[in-house]
Structure 1
Amino acid sequence: MDTAKDSRSTQVYIVDDDAELCESVSWLLDSAGIDSTICHNADEFLTEFDRQRPACIILDVRMPRMSGPRLQEQLNRIAPHVAIIFVSAHGDINMSVSTMKAGAQDFLEKPYNPQRLIDAVQFGIEGASVRFDNYLKSRQLSEKLALLTPRELEVLALVVEGLPSQNIGRRLGMSVKTVDVHRTRIKMKTDADSIGTLARDILRFDVPFP
């Protein structure tokens, strides 16, 4: 993996109230060709955070005002595409399990092995880029689905379930010809290559129906 290239496209943040540790981690990442931004608390991070870029966040569990898990909850709402690596000096197994269940990529105990941290960040950089691309595709698909009428959405939902036109018509009380007209309109409005491709993308990127 080209780390320098990935670190330019994915922003790495170090969020910890321990200034010395932040500098140490920043120096370690810099030695591996990874640029980073230091934030000493959650509020500072939220000010610096660019939602329009993929992000990998090295996040301390216990911080004043807003803890790491609380920041994770907020990010899950506003930026579910970020990769989070939690760090903690307390060895809290329950906290580790809960943050991983909430979507964290990794949980490292302080003092952590330098190479393991670098490996985790490199993995996070790559994963964040993929998550961000999927997030953008999901948003784009959602915007296209918003153009459909309620009836077209009903037809599309049944296509996603895997039903053929005849079964869809029977389910919705319409002729097969009418179903096919709706399918054609859906394809045109969403600019999809095919209805099948659209259905697969909706499932692949977990796109909610309006």
Structure 2
Amino acid sequence: MAPSFGQSKVLKTEPLDQKDAKWATLVKTTYTDPEGVERTWESGERLTRPSGSDIDGVGIVAILEDPSKPDDTPQIVLQKQWRPPVNATVIEVPAGLIDPKETAEQCAIRELKEETGYVGKPMKGGSFVSPIMFNDPGFCNTNLRMIHLAIDMADPANQNPQPELENNEFIETFTVPLKDLWDECSKFEAEGYAIDARVGTLAEGVELAKRFRLA
């Protein structure tokens, strides 16, 4: 059964003592600007990046592929998840934090299975692992790589996918036609949903490819 997000709401917001921070903290950085002037900058910093890893986590572009229907419009896997910082249900791609000694691709395959139940694999033509990308570099050091995975709908494991969610995760998984992602984002926004930047950027990319006939 899909989760109901209607009962989710922020009860209060208060300052967090840095000694109690588990996931992120605030730091003050002293630096010199291009003219040699000393300045300071306040920013957030993740506390969860494994030692030796160059990223905090991954975002996943997961596309359903049905070998028996090669001409069907590709479907992208999306999620609805209520997020306390924005007090709204957010339209997102599957994503998650990387484990110690895990590659970005291994993380993506694991997180996709845990969050959606789908078994993903690299797309035909080889793996797609993006450069390291920063979500909001003016505010925090959080970064990730985007990984593209294919979901083979002929695989029996993908016939009745069962997510393996933690007890504090409430995620609704669904799909939309990739070519309609921009219009779908507009509809979701009109309905009161928030749009994750990764989803919005993918939608922009699809629209740019259409406009400039890049494919």
Is the TM-score greater than 0.5? no
Q: Pick 1 or 2: higher relative contact order, CA cutoff 8 A, min separation 6.
A: 2
TM-score using structure 1 length: 0.23
Name the structure with the higher strand share: 2
TM-score using structure 2 length: 0.23
Based on CA coordinates, which of the two structures has the bigger radius of gyration?
1
